[in-house]
Amino acid sequence: MAEYRCSNCGKIITQDELGMKAKCPYCSNKILIKLRPRVVKLVKAR
């Protein structure tokens, strides 16, 4: 699932939340930065 970050308020918006609208549901900003799909990585806790 693609995720976007609003360039104005910095919220993470999923494709689901966006729906057909290409704007931030929180502040109506239209500039969204596409994030890379989350990669599940195992990191050793120290």
Rule CB under 5 A: which residues touch Zn ion?
Answer: 6, 8-9, 24, 26-27, 29
Minimum Å distance from CB 39 to Zn ion?
24
Non-local CB neighbours of 31 within 8 Å, separated by 6+ positions:
6, 7, 8
Task: Say how far apart CA 18 and CA 12 lie, in whole Å.
Answer: 10
The amino acid sitting at 6 is: C
Q: Which is nearer to Zn ion, 33 or 45 (CB)?
A: 33
Q: Which is nearer to Zn ion, 10 or 42 (CB)?
A: 10
Going by the annotation, the residues of the binding site for Zn(2+) are 9, 24, 27
